[in-house]
């Protein structure tokens, strides 16, 4: 599970250089949150959900039926992406990660889901 530090601003979750509109309450304005998303729920395909963050690919691990991408957001947070099949992505490549907002989790500073 990826856990990214963010904060609520303008009704959106700010993290990784992006403002994510989850179409649901994410917490009180200005409050810190932890944004959670599973690696298999992140994609690099445009049109497959909303923009999560711009990321740099740091490591590519080929695991037979899947490819694991280990990346870093523009604000320095680690992000793991699981992709089906053998994907050829060069180290150091900058890509945009997308996510279905319904498959994400937001936790307040008290650790409770919002």
Q: Answer yes or no: is 81 within a domain.
A: yes
Asked if the structure places residue 36 within a domain, the reply is: yes
Res. 76: pLDDT tops 80: yes
Is 87 part of a structural domain of the chain?
yes
Give the C-alpha distances (Å, rounded to integers) separating 16 from 31, 84, 109.
Answer: 16, 24, 18
In a domain, 114, yes or no: no
Residue with more model confidence, 16 or 74: 74
Q: What is the pLDDT of residues 26-52, one digit of tens each?
A: 888 999 999 999 999 999 998 888 999
Give the percent of the chain with pLDDT over 70: 100
If one counts the domains in the chain, the total is: 1
- Structural domain including 49 reads 2-108
Asked if residue 113 belongs to a domain, the reply is no
DSSP category for residue 89: -
Q: What is the pLDDT of residue 47?
A: 85
How far apart CA 17 and CA 19 sit, in angstroms, is 7
Statement: residue 25 has pLDDT above 80 = no
Residue 48 sits in a domain whose CATH number is 2.40.50.140
State the average pLDDT over residues 57-61.
Answer: 98
């Amino acid at each position: 599970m990826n856990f990214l530090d963010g904060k609520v601003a303008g009704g959106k979750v700010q993290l990784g250089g992006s403002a994510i509109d989850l179409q649901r309450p994410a917490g009180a304005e200005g409050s810190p949150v932890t944004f959670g998303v599973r690696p298999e729920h992140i994609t690099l395909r445009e049109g497959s959900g909303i923009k999560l963050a711009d990321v740099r690919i740091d490591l590519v691990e080929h695991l037979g039926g899947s490819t694991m991408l280990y990346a870093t957001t523009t604000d320095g947070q680690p992000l793991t992406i699981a992709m089906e099949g053998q994907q050829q992505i060069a180290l150091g490549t900058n890509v945009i990660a997308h996510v279905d907002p319904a498959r994400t989790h937001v936790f307040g500073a008290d650790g409770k889901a919002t």
